[in-house]
Structure 1
Amino acid sequence: MSTSDLVPRRAAAQVVAALTDTRVVLISGARQAGKSTLVKVVAGDRLADRRDLDREADRAAAIADPEGFVDSPQLLVIDEIQRVPQLLLAIKVAVDGDPRPGRYLLTGSSQLYGMVAAPDALPGRMETVELWPFSQGEIDGAPDGFVDAIFTLGPALRHQSSVTRADYAARIVRGGLPEATVRNDARRRQRFFDSYVQALIDRDVRQLSDIQHKGELRKLVRLLAARSATVIGANSLESALGLSRPTIARYLQALEEIFLVKRIPGWSRNLGTRATAAPKLVFVDSGLAANELDVDAHALLRPGAQFGPLLESFVLSELSRQLTWSEQAVEIFHYRDHSKFEVDAVLENRAGQVVGVEVKAASTVRSDDFRGLRRLADRLGDDFIAGVVLHTGDSTLPFGDRMRAMPVSALWQVAAPSGEA
């Protein structure tokens, strides 16, 4: 039995709950993030039919007779629904005629509504559960409770850590894709990452967009890895790739829709400004980003290596994972103003309360590392709960009103307060 069979997924409870009151449930996430394994766990002993659209025979049947394909008196599981998006209309007809909850459990490796061929078929009928690669807490059997803890406890939160810089580097290059986590040999893991990215470009991206320059798309992925956790605009990549801005923008959108990268939007109290602010880009899996830069854990710690940007990308992706199951309904942004004050991550709940997070790839934290967080606190007043500089040292240290330095491992080693998820 593989590690992916053994590791409990935090998304499982969300899927089970959704099946009790929603007609169609979609588990959406990167290829090989563990969606099929999660489906097996959730389906359990239920009576269920299963279809897999990666299989040619199933795909041909779905195309030939969509209504017949989705006709089932019991739970019907359909893997990789994006392969035949026209099935969504047949599912709509079926659930409108029989509105019982738990009719269909779908998985998808592309964001359905970004697909050229996907009809806007299931508003109000479908709940989407986002599944990321393993979080560090899922791998370690740790709580993964930082978001709920910091919003509940604020600057009272404390954490001591024994995780070293070398440990962080090893976690970054391993990433969280289940297949990669069981490959201890670095060369074998590299081959997996290489084939994974190439398969996404050859198969999944082609479904989403008219790709005429696959070589440039491969180059774009490497450029994005080199600029991970930075503000990215299509215009900044134009000269490096020799492609037009609209083409680059389309390729970036496709890479996001297959869950290779994630864009973190800019934060502002002004919603109009927020909508137009340049996003920051991170890789969904840090192991893929490190592999694109051709660095192992040892090389990552050398002077001049990309440890800092990759650590920030790693933190932002871990926070993004956690937001899919935290009790607090929180969105993630970054902050950058005209005076060049910056905050790596701005977490805002629905009440407008904010936690700011900076990432520092060093074990020593200085007062100046809180410069952006203090600016944010001044703007927000009482709505600012805490500013945290996550560092590679071992202790939590106070740096003034509501400001704390805290080890990065707090992200997954801190438990949510009692009564929280």
Structure 2
Amino acid sequence: MYPRNIQNFAREALGDTPVLLLNGARQTGKSTLAQSLDAGRRYLTLDDPVVLAAAQSDPFGFIDGLDGPVCLDEVQRAPGIFLAIKAAVDKVRQPGRFLLTGSANVLLLPQMADSLAGRMEVLELWPLAQCEIAARPRSIVDELFAGDFADRYPFDRDDFIERLTAGGYPEALERRSGRRRQVWFDSYLATILQRDVRDLAQIEGLTELPRLLQLLAARSGGLLNMAELSRSTGLAQTTLRRYMGLLEVLFLIRQVPAWSSNLGKRLQKSPKLFLSDYGLMAHLQTLDANRMAQEHGLPGDLVEAFVHAELAKHQTWAAEATRLMHYRTSTGVEVDFVLENRRGQVLGIEVKAARTLSSKSFSGLRHLRDTVPEQFQRGVLFYSGEEVVQFDAQLVALPLAMFWA
């Protein structure tokens, strides 16, 4: 079992909150983590047809029949169970009574989330971060705000390519050949786009979704333009929005909202779109390790997706609570990512797949600094070199290897 950095947060939540939900995509290790938190807790999964039938036919009777702390796996398969859990918690408000796992984002399903408002804590479990794969607990988010860097981080191009194509799903990482991982990714997508879509949307697997997901993989890191995407897919925008919502609920895609300083600047308001796992993105783009190794450079969109996913994972256990956004003006000046903490301090993050940089590489970060000089904490540029280079007191180039070294 890989060590999960969110584990301590889960234990703390079980100590003072009646309901804890571990939420995340399928095959990210939610069930394994849940069972490791409390060996004596009764474990039931709604993937079991008998358990599912009982939960769906009489949710209140099913919950009333459970004694002591219980773990319910894949609860999104029986939405009615949330109201039954609410009733049980209101009768006996006991910390850690219900440990739930779900493969659909309940925060995007109001009928589920609202029923347990104030009674449930939600922790998001992403695919493995590079530091979890290496069994080295750390928080990149906290290190970036603190300016806590080494002098250099050894970078090996072939090793990085392997990390990009493997992604973070534990089972995919266990496949030692690229061909076997391709088989796993194909099977994974088929399961989600058939069974889970059917459960959530009450319809059979949609034939348009696999092609749509492939188109989104090719546009990962770009601004979300529904009109252009509608033209490319031939889908009406109302249908397209519904499909996009399904993919987001299932944690396959993620939107990064635009950042605004509220100073009246003319900023681009569209969100950026990313696939949640860079290994899955590489698979959908038919990029394998051999093909990338033969190319002169690294695919910039895939490297940016890597940084996005790693930052989002580290946010879930960082001591510094932050929001992840992007910055783009109406004239095209952009910063790939902006992290803002609760004190309003801003960290700008740029991503370059190249090994060499120049002062011009920091132009977007300088623009952001000039826009909000009092909020601006630091500008970071991740690149595929090895040396940590300070360009000025607030701008620094950091090797991508910082994420795993």
Which interval holds the TM-score relative to the shorter structure? Answer: over 0.9
State the match for 1:73 in structure 2: 67
SS in 1 for 2:374: helix
Alpha-carbon spacing, 1:200–1:380, altered in 2? closer, same or farther (3 Å): same
Equivalent residues in 2 for 1:184-333, closer than 5 Å: 184-209=176-201, 214-270=206-262, 277-303=269-295, 307-333=299-325
Whole-angstrom CA distance in 2 between matches of 1:116 and 1:17: 26
**Deviation larger for 183-192 or 202-211:** 202-211
Equivalent of 1:9 in 4, 9, 12: 4
Task: Give the letter for the 2:129 counterpart.
Answer: S
State the match for 1:111 in structure 2: 105
State the match for 2:76 in structure 1: 82
State the match for 2:139 in structure 1: 145
Task: Give the letter for the 2:94 counterpart.
Answer: R
Whole-angstrom CA distance in 2 between matches of 1:144 and 1:300: 29
Alpha-carbon spacing, 1:204–1:377, altered in 2? closer, same or farther (3 Å): same
Equivalent of 1:26 in 21, 29, 42: 21
Quote the RMSD (CA, aligned, Å): 2.1
**Aligned pair 1:58/2:51, yes or no?**
yes
SS in 1 for 2:398: strand
SS in 2 for 1:70: helix
Whole-angstrom CA distance in 2 between matches of 1:119 and 1:201: 23
Shift of residue 284 of structure 1?
1.2
Whole-angstrom CA distance in 2 between matches of 1:105 and 1:275: 42
SS in 1 for 2:127: coil
Whole-angstrom CA distance in 2 between matches of 1:177 and 1:119: 26
Whole-angstrom CA distance in 1 between matches of 2:146 and 2:175: 38
Whole-angstrom CA distance in 2 between matches of 1:115 and 1:388: 35
Task: Give the letter for the 1:291 counterpart.
Answer: H
Whole-angstrom CA distance in 1 between matches of 2:154 and 2:328: 32
**For the Cα contact (< 8 Å) 1:169–1:307, is it kept in 2?**
no
**For the Cα contact (< 8 Å) 1:30–1:260, is it kept in 2?**
yes
**For the Cα contact (< 8 Å) 2:18–2:95, is it kept in 1?**
yes
Percent identity between matched residues is: 42
**For the Cα contact (< 8 Å) 2:386–2:401, is it kept in 1?**
no
Give structure 1 stretches of 5+ with no counterpart.
414-421
Q: Deviations over 1:369-396 (max 9, x none)?
A: 1011000011111321111110000001
Q: How many residues align?
A: 404
**For the Cα contact (< 8 Å) 1:89–1:119, is it kept in 2?**
no
Q: Deviations over 1:88-108 (max 9, x none)?
A: 010000000001111100000
SS in 2 for 1:188: helix
State the match for 1:96 in structure 2: 90
Equivalent residues in 2 for 1:382-421, closer than 5 Å: 382-413=374-405
Whole-angstrom CA distance in 1 between matches of 2:241 and 2:293: 33
State the match for 1:354 in structure 2: 346
**For the Cα contact (< 8 Å) 2:76–2:104, is it kept in 1?**
yes
Alpha-carbon spacing, 1:272–1:112, altered in 2? closer, same or farther (3 Å): farther
State the match for 1:183 in structure 2: 175
Task: Give the letter for the 1:402 counterpart.
Answer: Q
- So what's the TM-score if we normalise by structure 2? 0.95
**For the Cα contact (< 8 Å) 1:28–1:109, is it kept in 2?**
yes
Alpha-carbon spacing, 1:98–1:274, altered in 2? closer, same or farther (3 Å): farther
**For the Cα contact (< 8 Å) 1:76–1:103, is it kept in 2?**
yes
SS in 2 for 1:100: coil
Shift of residue 120 of structure 1?
2.6
Whole-angstrom CA distance in 1 between matches of 2:193 and 2:297: 27
Whole-angstrom CA distance in 2 between matches of 1:18 and 1:298: 44
Whole-angstrom CA distance in 1 between matches of 2:12 and 2:245: 31
Q: Deviations over 1:107-142 (max 9, x none)?
A: 000012434864731000000011001100000122
State the match for 2:114 in structure 1: 120
Shift of residue 223 of structure 1?
0.6
**For the Cα contact (< 8 Å) 2:217–2:281, is it kept in 1?**
yes
Whole-angstrom CA distance in 2 between matches of 1:324 and 1:107: 16
**For the Cα contact (< 8 Å) 2:298–2:354, is it kept in 1?**
no
- So what's the TM-score if we normalise by structure 1? 0.91
Give structure 2 stretches of 5+ with no counterpart.
none
**For the Cα contact (< 8 Å) 1:158–1:406, is it kept in 2?**
no
With a CA cutoff of 8 Å and minimum separation of 6, indicate the structure with the bigger relative contact order. Answer: 1
